[in-house]
């Protein structure tokens, strides 16, 4: 059962990350004046993608909690796991920040440039690298 839970945890984590990678890309396009004719389309795409990535995030947590119920020792004995949790909490903050940005675009109140969003778009990649290294290498 543990391996099935782990498989679904990874599947939904990938779904969540797909949204975390692509939603900020939509923000980049939405922030570019030359794409003004497509702003309404971007708002629709952003809303739908946010819904899918939120489902992915929720399912990731549900399967993570099920895994933890089967192996609670990770919470206190594995330093790498505790750091992974910090990365995940950061991703939830990033997820919420994406939500706030999406609302800003919906209201037509964006003040940031597409260049800012290009940098913003890099954060989930850094978190993913950190999480994968921690889970695979278990350095401490």
Annotated binding site for heme: 9, 84
CA distance 87 to 36: 35
Whether 46 contacts 27, CB under 8 Å: yes
Annotated binding site: 9, 84
Rg (CA), the chain: 17
CA-nearest of 42, 17, 44, 14 to 28 is 42
Maximum CA extent, the chain? 54
């Amino acid at each position: 059962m543990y391996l099935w839970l782990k498989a679904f945890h990874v599947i939904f984590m990938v779904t969540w990350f797909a949204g975390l990678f692509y939603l900020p890309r939509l923000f980049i396009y939405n922030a570019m004046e030359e794409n003004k004719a497509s702003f309404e389309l971007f708002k629709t795409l952003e809303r739908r993608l946010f819904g899918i990535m939120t489902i992915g995030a929720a399912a990731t947590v549900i399967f993570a909690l099920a895994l933890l119920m089967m192996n609670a020792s990770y919470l206190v004995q594995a330093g790498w796991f505790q750091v992974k949790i910090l990365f995940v909490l950061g991703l939830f903050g990033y997820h919420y920040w994406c939500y706030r940005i999406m609302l800003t675009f919906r209201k037509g109140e964006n003040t940031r440039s597409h260049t800012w969003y290009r940098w913003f778009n890099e954060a989930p990649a850094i978190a993913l690298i950190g999480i994968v290294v921690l889970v695979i290498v278990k350095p401490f």
